[in-house]
């Protein structure tokens, strides 16, 4: 196993990517906040299918955390992450520090409307401006041909696609399917926060969502079905539901039967907030 080359400055990143491109190699990027798991590995595998070279960024982005959120507690395990990337075949790890990404005096911010409206924004109003700003910076720094984002963060994937479309950023955004454990729980760095008992409860979320999606596909009243899903999630042992919603799959606008749809959810289990989403089956 060979670990990826590690760079932490924009100049070293650009030097490495420029050398690849002079040789005619295509480049795919996987932006991450570290604490890598099998879901991230699947993104690297997708990147290596799309391009000749893969760069993975590891940066815990403070601009997408509210003051009340878990920035300081977010897991950081660089050596383990580099070993994971080596096994996955990534070529380069970009590990900038906070001062590299946001030097003194930095005050730019990118607001994306459309798919950013509602859902996560109702509970984390700063989130997508933070995502859009850091992703735009990463794309300008690395100039990849492709960027791979997991469908597990589906609203984020839609926002990043719109960011590139609206600002003419020449990066092809590739969505990768959600990786789940044997019980269907979506892989997430925050799953590490769950106790053994909480993990048993967490694995019920995807089952309730799948049942609700099937009911919607069969013509159930959306308002009733989604409220029943919220009640079922709380009944399963979750402490609070932020949302369970049905949205049109492409724009995240209003969904109605017959349209390609997505059911999205966010719920609290103890101090851990879990999100998930899946297709509403086509009738």
Tokens of 210: 């799948």
**What burial letters (b/e) apply to 28-38, b meaning 16+ CB within 10 Å?**
bbbbbbbbbbe
From the CA atom positions of the chain, what is the Rg in Å?
19
Tokens of 193: 């926060």
Secondary-structure percent of the chain, ordered helix, strand, coil, rounded to 5: 45, 20, 35
Residues 160 and 231 sit within 8 Å (Cβ to Cβ): no
**What burial letters (b/e) apply to 136-150, b meaning 16+ CB within 10 Å?**
bbbbebbbbbbbbbb
Tokens of 144: 């990849």
| Number of Cβ atoms within 10 Å of the Cβ of 218 | 11
Residues 35 and 192 sit within 8 Å (Cβ to Cβ): yes
Tokens of 114: 């459309």
3-state secondary structure of 202: helix
Q: Which of 37, 40, 91, 111 is catalytic?
A: 40
By C-alpha distance, which of 195, 279, 280, 267 is closest to 238?
Answer: 267
Tokens of 95: 């590990």
Question: For this structure, is 111 an active site residue?
Answer: no
CA distance 112 to 136: 12
The catalytic site residues sit at 40
């Amino acid at each position: 196993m060979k670990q990826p080359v590690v760079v932490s400055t924009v100049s070293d990143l650009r030097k490495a990517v420029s050398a690849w491109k002079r040789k005619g190699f295509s480049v795919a990027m996987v932006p991450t906040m570290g604490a890598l798991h099998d879901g991230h590995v699947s993104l690297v595998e997708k990147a290596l299918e799309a391009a000749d070279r893969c760069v993975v960024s590891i940066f815990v982005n403070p601009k997408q955390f509210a003051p009340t959120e878990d920035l300081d507690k977010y897991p950081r395990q660089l050596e383990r992450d580099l070993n994971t990337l080596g096994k996955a075949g990534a070529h380069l790890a970009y590990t900038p520090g906070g001062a590299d990404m946001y030097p003194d005096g930095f005050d730019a911010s990118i607001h994306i409307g459309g798919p950013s409206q509602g859902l996560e924004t109702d509970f984390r109003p700063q989130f997508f401006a933070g995502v859009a700003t850091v992703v735009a910076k990463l794309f300008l720094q690395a100039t990849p041909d492709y960027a791979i984002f997991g469908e597990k963060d589906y609203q984020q994937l839609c926002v990043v696609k719109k960011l590139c479309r609206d600002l003419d950023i020449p990066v092809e955004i590739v969505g990768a399917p959600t990786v789940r454990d044997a019980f269907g729980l979506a892989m997430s760095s925050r799953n590490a926060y769950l106790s053994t008992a909480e993990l048993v409860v967490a694995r019920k979320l995807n089952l309730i969502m799948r049942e609700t999606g099937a009911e919607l596909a069969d013509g159930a009243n959306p308002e009733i079905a989604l409220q029943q899903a919220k009640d079922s999630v709380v009944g399963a042992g979750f402490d609070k539901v932020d949302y369970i919603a049905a949205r049109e799959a492409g724009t995240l606008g209003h969904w109605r039967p017959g349209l390609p749809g997505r059911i999205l959810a966010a719920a609290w289990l103890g101090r851990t907030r879990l999100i998930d989403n899946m297709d509403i089956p086509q009738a």
